[in-house]
Amino acid sequence: ADILPLGPLPRLIGHRGAARHAPENTLAGIRMAAAQGAKWVEVDVKLTADLVPVLLHDDTLDRTTDGKGPAKDLELGAMRRLDAGSWFSPAFRGERVPTLVEVIQLVLALDLGINLEIKPCPGREEETAGVALTLAYSLWPDDRPPPLVSSFADASLDMARQVVPRWPLGYLIDRRPANWRQRVEQLNVSTINVNARREDAASIREYKTTGRPVLAYTVNTVPVAREVLGWGVSSVFTDTPSGLAEIAG
């Protein structure tokens, strides 16, 4: 099958919004990324106890909110009462854990592209992709390039391929699995999303033999960005779009 098309890939993608400058995975973070000139943002999606897709990176609430314990045990109402900004800076006090609905509305309003990283709590790989992408698909306008959907979780990507058969997938990896070529073909992904720290010019060339662009996380300095782009990487995920503005192109 043909590789499903993506919208034009920008050289910089705001990581978790603009994680150096605003609390990660919040509406303020997405606005910050846009204000810094990012054309796309990457966010992490998981489910509340009552199966509402929200943005949160960790399995637990402790690091990025004033709550405690597993995110999967809290219903939306309780999660919405948490403060997801003060841990980062008092300037962001009152920032909430955003719902995926709010995030989609905001990126559409700001005309941003988005990479939805499905980040399931353990054991919820399939339902996280199923619920989040059914919702995202229902909200996404036909006349805009669709989100790029990625996940480290095999079961989430398999489910994504079923739920949004026409949306581009990103094969997201840390250490390269032995069966990576097989997965790239089987899922018919549109991109390969790698950890910049684990790669080099030769490994990037190998990925590119599949005909897919390679995206690399997380790159926060201009020299590293230049090196990684020099290997043939198309885009870097960065916590600091403003810090990398000179390579935005």
Point out which residues bind ligand G3P (CB under 6 A). Answer: 15, 42, 44, 57, 117, 150, 172, 193, 217, 237
> Measured from the CB atom, is 156 or 193 closer to ligand G3P?
193
> Measured from the CB atom, is 44 or 95 closer to Mg ion?
44
> Is 21 among the catalytic positions?
no
Q: Is 136 helix (H, G, I), strand (E, B) or coil?
A: helix
> Which residue's C-beta sits nearest to ligand G3P?
217
Site track 34-63 with Mg ion (rule: CB under 5 A), x = hit: ----------x-------------------
State the binding partner of 239 from Mg ion, ligand G3P, none, CB within 5 to 8 A by kind. Answer: none
Among residues 15, 21, 46, 212, which one is catalytic? 15
Among residues 9, 11, 57, 137, which one is catalytic? 57
* Antiparallel, parallel or unpaired: β 235-238 and 214-217: parallel
Nearest approach, Cβ of residue 142 and ligand G3P (Å): 26
* Positions 67 through 86 that interact with Mg ion (CB under 5 A): none
Whole-angstrom Cα distance, residue 244 to residue 222? 6
Q: How many angstroms separate the first and last alpha carbons of the chain?
A: 32
Does 239 contact Mg ion by CB under 5 A? no
Nearest approach, Cβ of residue 41 and Mg ion (Å): 10
Closest CA to 164 of 149, 183, 143, 185: 149
State the binding partner of 125 from Mg ion, ligand G3P, none, CB within 5 to 8 A by kind. Answer: none
Give the interface size with Mg ion as a residue count (CB under 5 A).
Answer: 2
State the binding partner of 150 from ligand G3P, Mg ion, none, CB within 5 to 8 A by kind. Answer: ligand G3P
State the binding partner of 24 from ligand G3P, Mg ion, none, CB within 5 to 8 A by kind. Answer: none
Structure token digits, residue 204: 């990037």
Closest CA to 137 of 125, 153, 149: 149
Closest CA to 186 of 162, 206, 216: 162
Task: Figure out which of the listed residues 24, 95, 117, 199 binds Mg ion, where binding follows CB under 5 A.
Answer: 117
Closest CA to 17 of 194, 225, 242, 214: 242
> Which residues are within 8 A (CB) of 92 and not within 5 positions of it... i.e. 6 or more apart?
22, 23, 26, 28, 85, 86
CB 100 within 8 A of CB 55: yes
State the binding partner of 189 from ligand G3P, Mg ion, none, CB within 5 to 8 A by kind. Answer: none
**Cα dist from 135 to 75, 86, 129, 140, 171, whole Å:** 18, 29, 10, 9, 21
Q: Which residues are identified as catalytic?
A: 15, 57
- Applying CB under 5 A, the residues found at the interface with Mg ion are 44, 117
